[in-house]
Amino acid sequence: MNAKEAVKYVQENECKLVDIRFTDLFGMWHHFSLPADDFSEAIFEDGLGFDGSSIRGFQSIDESDMLLVPDPATLFIDPFAPEEYKTAIIICDIEDTITRERYSRDPRFVAKKAEAYLKTTGIADTALFGPEAEFFLFDSLTYTNHPHDSGFQLDSEEAHWNSGTSSQAYTVRQKGGYFPCSPNDRLQNVRTEMMYRMKEIGIHVEVHHHEVAVGQCEIDMRYNTLLIMADNLQKYKYVVKNVAHQWGMAATFMPKPLFGDNGSGMHVHQSLWKNDNTLMYDEKGYAGLSDISRWYIGGLLKHAAALLAFCAPTTNSYRRLVPGYEAPINLVYSSRNRSACIRIPMYNMSPKAKRIEFRAPDPTANGYLAMSAMLMAGLDGIQNRIEPPKPIDKDLYELPAEEKKDIKQTPGSLRQTLLALKEDHEFLLKGDVFTKDLIENYINYKLEHECDAMDLRPHPYEFYLYADA
C-alpha cells in the first residue's frame, strides 16, 4: 500500500479518525489521533511533529522537535474503536526535523537497518522470526509504592489459593496449568477473542493455550520477517491488553509476577534464508543443523550476556531467570531440551522447518531492538565461525555438580547485563545498525531509572526477614 492507497483506504472505510503510532526506546507504543479529513498524502511527505523530549530515552529539551512519518504499509482498522468513531491506525518512522535524517534511536529504524545489513553480508537475504510472547491474565492487579507503603496484590478465579471458596473446586494447581481443559481453564474464551481480534488486524495466529502458571497464557503468531514481526508484536500486546480490559481483567507481560510459579518467557524461533531456500538444515549435522546454524548459535551464546540487556530488559526479568521453573539459564544448546538456553525444535523433520529457538528473552523486550540484536549476534557468529559449546542432551537442572561447573549461565541481574552490553557491543555497530548514542542512552536510562531506583527501595520481604532484628 502506498500513500495514495492509504488515504483512499481511510476514506472508503469511512473512518472518522486516524491514530498515529510510534514506539519508544523501551518498547512502549505512543499515539495521538487526527480527524480523518486531515489525513492526506502530504502527511507522508511532510510528517507530523511531536515533542521528543517528552519520550523516554529520546531527545533533550533543547532539541525536542521531531517528525513522525507514517508507513502506509502498516495501516489497519482499530478493532477497539466504537463504530461511531471508526479509527484507522498507522505506524510511523521517526525523523529529525532539520536534516530529515532517520532518527538513530527509533527502534523501527534499527530493525530496518538490521534487515538491510543482512543482505549486504551475502550470507542470507531473509531472517524469519517467531516470538512466543507469554502473558498473565488476572482478575485483579493492584500495587502501591510510597515511602511508607509498598506492595502488590494479584488474584485469579482459577488460582489454587481460591480452592477454599464456594464454587471454586476447579482451580489451577501451582505449576499445573499446562493445557488443562475447562472448567479449570477459565481463560479459553478470553484468549479466543484475543485470537480473533488479532486475525482481524492481519496477524496470522497459529494456536492459543493456557500455560503452566496460574493465569498464564500463550497465543502464537506465525513467523515473519523481522520488521513485520516486530510490528505484529506491538499489535499483539495492544490486543491482549485491550481485550483483557474489556473483560474486566488485567493483562501483564511482566515475566515473574507470581512467586513460586513459572514466569513468562518469549522464546524466539529464528532462521536464515537465501533465494527462498533455508540455510539452517544439514542432514549430517547434529539435530539436522547446518554449519551456519551452529555458528549462528555460537554468536548468540557468546554475546548472550549483552543480548539480554535488550532481550530480558527489566529487573523483574531476573526473577524468572533462576534455576527451576523451566527457566533457560544454561548457555548451551540442545535438541528438544527446554532446560537449555537454545533449543532445536524437533516437531517437524522437514528441512524448511529447521530453526533455532532462543529461550532466554521475555515479553517485556522491545521487539525491534531484541530481534535486531539477536540477528546481529548470530551473523557475528557466522562471520567469525564461532563454535558453541558441545550440545548437552540431559536435564541440565539435574546435572551433578562436577558436570555443571563448566556450564556458563545467564547473568543474575539487569545491572550485570547492562554492564555486559557496555563492554560487548561492537557486533551491534556493524552496518550502523545500532549506534553508540542509542546504546549509551539505553544503558544510562536503565541503570538510573530501573536498577538504581530498585536498589534504593526496601523490599516488602525484607520486613519479614529483618523487622525484628
Query: Would you call 338 a catalytic residue per the annotation?
Result: yes
Residue 159 is given by DSSP the state: B
What DSSP string describes 162-183? Answer: GTTSTT--S-BPTT--SSPPTT
Query: Would you call 218 a catalytic residue per the annotation?
Result: yes
Which residue in 132, 156, 136 sits closest to 210, CA to CA?
A: 136
Q: Which is catalytic among the residues 157, 218, 261, 450? A: 218
Which residue in 73, 71, 72, 51 sits closest to 62, CA to CA?
A: 51
Q: Which is catalytic among the residues 210, 359, 415, 425? A: 359
Say how many CA atoms lie within 13 Å of 289 toward its Cβ: 26
Query: Would you call 267 a catalytic residue per the annotation?
Result: yes
Collapsing DSSP to helix, strand or coil, 89 comes out as strand
Cell numbers standing for residue 77: 482498522
Query: Would you call 78 a catalytic residue per the annotation?
Result: no
Whole-number Å distance between alpha carbons of 398 and 453? 36
Q: Which is catalytic among the residues 125, 139, 338, 424? A: 338
Query: Would you call 105 a catalytic residue per the annotation?
Result: no
Query: Would you call 197 a catalytic residue per the annotation?
Result: no
Q: Which is catalytic among the residues 78, 93, 134, 231? A: 134
Strands 126-138 and 216-221: antiparallel
Q: Which is catalytic among the residues 267, 294, 320, 343? A: 267
Query: Would you call 51 a catalytic residue per the annotation?
Result: yes
Q: Which is catalytic among the residues 78, 95, 115, 357? A: 357
Which residue in 320, 305, 460, 333 sits closest to 394, CA to CA?
A: 333
Cell numbers standing for residue 432: 550502523
Residue 274's beta-bridge partner residues?
277
Whole-number Å distance between alpha carbons of 96 and 101? 6
Q: Which is catalytic among the residues 46, 51, 63, 291? A: 51
- Per the listing, cell 496477524 goes with 203
Q: Which is catalytic among the residues 24, 71, 106, 211? A: 211
Q: Judge whether 341 and 333 are in contact, CB under 8 Å.
A: yes
Collapsing DSSP to helix, strand or coil, 113 comes out as helix
Residues identified as active-site? 51, 132, 134, 211, 218, 267, 338, 357, 359
